[in-house]
Amino acid sequence: MSSVIVRDVSLNFGAVEVLRSLNLDVAEGEFIVLLGPSGCGKSTLLNCIAGLLDVSQGQIFIKGKNVTWEEPKDRGIGMVFQSYALYPQMTVEGNLSFGLKNAGLPRDEIAKRVARASEILQIQPLLQRKPAALSGGQRQRVAIGRALVRDVDVFLFDEPLSNLDAKLRSELRVEIKRLHQKLANTMIYVTHDQIEALTLADRIAVMKGGVIQQLDGPQAIYNRPVNRFVAGFIGSPGMNFLEGQVSRDGAPGFLVGDLRIPLDRYEFSVANAAGAASLGIRPEHVALDEAGAAMPFSLETVVEIVEPMGSDTLVWTTLGGHNFTFRAPSERTLRLRERVTIGFDPARASLFDAGTDMRL
């Protein structure tokens, strides 16, 4: 059963189309991430689902009920904001119970819910403190708690970790994942950070320009990006792109500079694709030395720049006239201008049509 359905939703601000005819089916208990650069419409979509914004066209269903015209409080949602948005003059306990008191819930019910939420989030010792006396991580937990006490099925997260420093971010990321495993609620999560997306999501919706580019599990998005934008957005360091031609005289191959990369093992999505295209290959899919030579495509190249990163080393070279990066294990010491053999399996590459940017 679908928990949240977005049907043909469009949103215009005046003449600007911010969301274009979006469709999204979120299954019950699923953790879905809306991922994309700033301005892609992900937060806007979340606000529409929440009911904070009116859609220009389309409908929104939550747990089978048409909530397109409902106020946020009647949609069965809880929301967590980037800036926490805790009520500054109230204690943590006050923040958690204010909405419930306003709804007229009996006092013992409120106490019960507050106790349960603070236990799950480990914020019991903080209950009498005010938000100003809390750390960033604690504030975010209280913000999540405020959504928890509402006893709802769907949680909405609007870039909740963006205000935290890197270390806190990874800590809280794990906590959110644990929370999802424990509660099994449906969660819709907005972020621009692809690491958060890849680690947390059951499915990722990559968005650009108000349109969902690809809706898939993290592995599929990583391995088979559906267009060049998705391919370039996911993965750090980014995918290498080589501009060249797909030729079909004899076996299919990719011509770039004076190189020919065999494409016989590549799984084409478009039959008999040919012509100008880009070949994308991730730095981590490139192997060195013997492993490299054993690959279906290998060549010798010159090391230009070496960036040691501790866990491994990022190496820059030139391939077919393009900048090309690959990862080397940190034990393998490389010197500048050293000649080294690298290779990769074209089956792991991605081909994109030069004109449409779509996957071939």
Q: Which residues bind another protein (CB under 8 A)?
A: 8, 47, 50, 52, 54-59, 65-74, 77-79, 81-89, 98-99, 102-103, 146, 150
Q: How far is the CB of 210 from another protein (least distance, A)?
A: 17
Indicate the residue among 157 and 352 with the shorter CB distance to another protein: 157
Give the single-character DSSP code of 239: P
Q: Could you tell me which residues are beta bridge partners of residue 177? A: none
> Given the complex with another protein, which of 163 and 317 has the nearer CB atom?
163
Q: Which is nearer to another protein, 163 or 199 (CB)?
A: 163
CB of 77 to another protein, least distance (A): 7
Q: What span, in angstroms and rounded, lies between the C-alpha atoms of 178 and 174?
A: 6
Tell me the closest approach of the beta carbon of residue 87 to another protein, in angstroms: 5
- Tell me the closest approach of the beta carbon of residue 75 to another protein, in angstroms: 9
Q: What is the three-class DSSP state of 167?
A: helix
Q: How far is the CB of 74 from another protein (least distance, A)?
A: 8
> Rg of the chain over CA atoms, in angstroms?
24
Q: Which two tokens stand for residue 333?
A: 């010491």
- Extract the tokens encoding 296: 């279906």
Say how far apart CA 144 and CA 130 lie, in whole Å. 16
Rank residues 62 and 279 by Cβ distance to another protein and give the closer one: 62
In the complex, least distance from residue 180 CB atom to another protein, rounded to whole angstroms: 20
Compare residues 81 and 222 and give the one whose CB is closer to another protein. Answer: 81
Nearest CB to another protein, comparing residues 113 and 359: 113
Distances from the Cα of 305 to the Cαs of 17, 240, 293, 313, 332, in angstroms?
43, 15, 21, 10, 14
Closest listed residue to residue 188, CA positions, set 162, 147, 140, 155: 155
Q: Which is nearer to another protein, 66 or 124 (CB)?
A: 66
CA 102 to chain CA mean position, Å: 36
Identity of the residue numbered 127: L
| b/e map 217-239, b = 16+ CB within 10 Å | ebeebbebbbbbbbbbbbbeeeb
Nearest to 234 by CA among 242, 223, 250: 223
Phi, psi of 276 (to 5 degrees): -65, 135
Residue 158 and residue 43: Cα distance in Å, rounded?
7
Q: Give least dist CB 221 to another protein, A.
A: 28
Task: Return the number of the residue (113 or 228) whose C-beta is nearest another protein.
Answer: 113
Distance in Å, CB of 150 to another protein, minimum? 8
